[in-house]
Amino acid sequence: MTRVLATGTFDILHPGHIYFLTQARKLGDELFVIVARDSNVTHKPKPIVPEEQRLEMVNALGMVDKALLGSEKDMFEPLKEIKPDIIALGYDQRFDSELLEKELTKRGIPAKVVRIPLSKKCPLCSTGAIIKEVLKRYG
């Protein structure tokens, strides 16, 4: 069994999230997803949807075998339990694949890192685009 791990904020689920998770699922037999904790989202605006609700939404997706909240202290902590074979990164995730693989190896997690390329294009395929459209219409 090949276990794939995907991570993200997953604020306001949209077709871009579905594409990413579907492509990640195709890389193996099981898809685990770590949903970012509200407190850990520092590289973009804080999520609108609270972490528990985002977790519930991701767990409800058919391609996801199990979703869990990330660690507030060490992002690598849940990986020890999950033991992924592959870590799928989205096209826009800020990780350097090589540096991530080196850190995984250093921590005894022999996972391969695969970046899912951007391929799904639609007018509202990002949380930011959805928020802008809502503000345009109702702001």
95-111 per-position pLDDT tens digit? 889 999 999 999 999 99
Query: Would you say residue 55 has pLDDT above 90?
Result: yes
Domain encompassing residue 70: 1-136
Question: Which has the closest alpha carbon to 67: 13, 135, 124?
Answer: 13
Query: How crowded is residue 46: how many other Cβ atoms within 10 Å of its Cβ?
Result: 10
Judge whether 9 is annotated as a binding position: yes
Judge whether 17 is annotated as a binding position: yes
Per-residue pLDDT, averaged over 4-32, amounts to: 96
Lowest mean pLDDT among 9-13, 43-47, 69-73, 120-124: 120-124
| Confidence bin at 92 (pLDDT 50/70/90) | confident
Judge whether 43 is annotated as a binding position: no
Judge whether 105 is annotated as a binding position: no
Q: Contact at 8 Å (CB) between 3 and 79? A: no
Give the alpha-carbon dihedral of 24, 92, 71, 101, to 10 degrees. 70
Judge whether 92 is annotated as a binding position: yes
Judge whether 65 is annotated as a binding position: no
Number of domains in the chain: 1
| CATH number of the domain enclosing 122 | 3.40.50.620
3-state secondary structure 82-123: HCCCEEEECCCCCCCHHHHHHHHHHCCCCCEEEECCCCCCCC
User: pTM value?
Assistant: 0.93
Contacts of 65 (CB under 8 A, 6+ apart): 30, 31, 32
